[in-house]
Amino acid sequence: MPTTPDAAPTTLPGLLLSSATRAPDAIALRVDDDAATFAELAERAARVAGGLAAAGARAGDRVALFLPNGAELVDLYFGSWMLGCVAVPLNHRYLEREAKFSLEHSGATVFVTHPELVARVEGLPYAEMGLDARYLVRGDGADGWRPFDELVRADPVALSSVPDDASADALVLYTSGTTGNPKGVVWTQRGLYALASSMRDEYAHDLGVVQLLPTPISHVGALSNLLGGILGGATSVVADSADPADVLPAITRWSPSIMQLLPTGLDDFVEASGHDDHDLSSLRAVVVGGDKVPLDVHRRFTDLVGFEVTEQIGMTECSHYASNPPYGEKRLGSVGRPVRGHDVRIVDATGADALVGKTGEIIVRSDAMFDRYWDNPEATRDALVDGWLRTGDLGRFDADGWLWFMGREKQIIIRAGSNIVPEEVEEVLHQHPAVALACVVGAADAHLGQRVEAYVELEPGESVTEDELRAFANDRLSAYKVPERVVFLEKMPRTGTGKLDRHRLEQQIAADLAAGGAAGS
């Protein structure tokens, strides 16, 4: 394999090629029983890049990836980047409507999915969308789908032709915002490389280090760990499930020192039986983000493995910006200190720095941060002010510089680490002919972080049961967005103009819950 230039790389293809030159025979990736060295991973990516080029993809084109965790997703990431394309990973829990929006909004020209997911998108008007290049992994292809092997069997791109533009777009991640449609979070090559560098340093990724990633690498959290590992020469074991029945044997088999989980996965981990049947002694750091970890889970985990969880805070736009040290002192209940390369401030309503101990909005500045929202300049202007990202999270610094998360300004519901826009769920509920008005909120849940609850006012003379309304929503939304509970109210609170008064309703709900009941139930 040709060597990379002497200068330090600043792009993702350079990141992989540098490690493939430095440690060609070291294991870069494990998925189930399959393993790929850094040299093999670079070769596969070059072939995928050649296959994409043969399919008509060009630099700047968007390649949509609707896939669960697997080697193919990693190959497609780096294959896209070697051609100068933009990877667009879709949440593998999307239904047809959600996938259609992301495909159309991003303008994807290539689409790759999995046999287990293809049924969800078989009704899309691909010809109208300009999506003729469609591939199916682990299948022979049919009904307009080509086998993924066509890409892998292609002649590899010449490494001398691999783009080296750090300012080029690399990734569009769709995340829920404060409006019904998700926003496309754009990361450049430079931003993702800076993120990988930060991760490598924070977790001491190096040759011989093994990390277990059972959370989706289509999300920025696990993807950042993967990139940090590839940059540093570590081995990444990518699993398709955070179920303890899969995770515990994987720890015993591969002896990872680092593992990443969502809070729900951590809860499942400590609740699981059979810990004594597995060797967990290799673990040195278990990283958890996406939502707060209950103190009881913190303590039970420490009792189980002998060290504390590494709790952190972040978002799709900047991955994690504060973290407890993975291998050092932690402060229980805090989300940690600003990570290397990230400036973090707490500001009041005027934009001035808040006093120590005072709550305000958390704002962040970093090279390891998104560039803009795809085709949404208004949202970009709202989020980025003088180079600072307004997170919408509320926090405070203590006198020692530790950050404490105090809540969210936004109304986003975070259920098991996934963002849910209340307005999207409300829009679906409003489609039911019996529903006059719906309000969706997040309620605290010890296991999920938040659960989805709907408060509904019916049309005069109409009737529908809770089960019927949940079934209606289940046919139109991903399962994790369907309300766990529907409460029927005789009359929703309204403003003077007749609109739903969400603030008053949330106050009413909080008061009723504090009294031990449910509003209107």
Q: How many CB atoms lie under 10 A from the CB of residue 303?
A: 9
Instruction: Enter the tokens of residue 303.
Output: 């009792």
Instruction: Enter the tokens of residue 146.
Output: 């080509």
Q: How far is CA 240 from the centre of its chain?
A: 15
What CA–CA distances, in Å, run from 76 to 107, 451, 467?
18, 34, 41
Helix (H) or strand (E) holding 189: helix 189-203
Rounded-to-integer distance, Cα 443 and Cα 455, Å: 12
Instruction: Enter the tokens of residue 483.
Output: 């309300």
Q: How many CB atoms lie under 10 A from the CB of residue 3?
A: 11
pTM, to two decimals: 0.85
Q: How far is CA 505 from the centre of its chain?
A: 30
Helices (H) and strands (E) in the chain, counts: 15, 27
**Residue among 225, 233, 384, 368 at smallest CA distance from 310:** 225
Q: How far is CA 125 from the centre of its chain?
A: 27
Helix (H) or strand (E) holding 171: strand 169-175
pLDDT of residue 495: 54
pLDDT of residue 178: 47
Rounded-to-integer distance, Cα 107 and Cα 104, Å: 5
Domain architecture of the chain: domains with CATH: 413-514 (3.30.300.30)
Q: How many CB atoms lie under 10 A from the CB of residue 505?
A: 18
Rounded-to-integer distance, Cα 78 and Cα 141, Å: 23
- As a whole number of angstroms, the longest Cα–Cα distance in the chain is 75
pLDDT of residue 499: 55
Q: How many CB atoms lie under 10 A from the CB of residue 128?
A: 8
Evaluated on CA atoms 414, 415, 418, 420, the torsion sign reads negative
Instruction: Enter the tokens of residue 298.
Output: 């913190």
Q: What angle do the packed helices 244-254 and 263-271 form, to 10 degrees?
A: 80
3-class secondary structure, 10: coil
CB burial readout 139-176, b (16+ within 10 A) else e: beeeeebbbbbebbebebbebeebbeebebbbbbbbbb
Rounded-to-integer distance, Cα 378 and Cα 383, Å: 9
Q: What angle do the packed helices 12-22 and 220-232 form, to 10 degrees?
A: 40
The amino acid at residue 260 is Q
Are the CB atoms for 456 and 487 separated by under 8 Å? Answer: yes
- Alpha helical stretches, state H, 236-294: 244-254, 263-271
3-class secondary structure, 305: helix
Are the CB atoms for 238 and 29 separated by under 8 Å? Answer: yes
Rounded-to-integer distance, Cα 473 and Cα 237, Å: 36
State the DSSP code for 308: -
Each residue's pLDDT expressed in tens, for the chain with a length of 521 residues:
434 445 678 899 999 999 999 999 999 999 999 999 999 999 999 999 999 999 999 999 999 999 999 999 999 999 999 999 999 999 988 999 999 999 999 999 999 999 999 999 999 999 999 999 999 998 776 788 999 999 999 999 998 899 999 999 999 999 865 456 889 999 999 999 999 999 999 999 999 999 999 999 999 999 999 999 999 999 999 999 999 999 999 999 999 999 999 888 998 999 999 899 999 999 999 999 877 788 888 999 999 999 999 999 999 999 999 999 999 989 998 999 999 999 999 999 899 999 999 989 999 999 999 999 999 999 999 999 999 999 998 899 999 999 999 877 777 788 988 888 787 898 899 889 999 888 898 888 888 989 999 999 998 899 999 999 999 999 999 999 999 999 999 988 865 444 567 767 777 777 776 776 554 44
Q: How far is CA 65 from the centre of its chain?
A: 14
Cα radius of gyration rounded to whole Å, the chain:
23
Q: How many CB atoms lie under 10 A from the CB of residue 429?
A: 24
- Alpha helical stretches, state H, 285-421: 295-305, 377-383
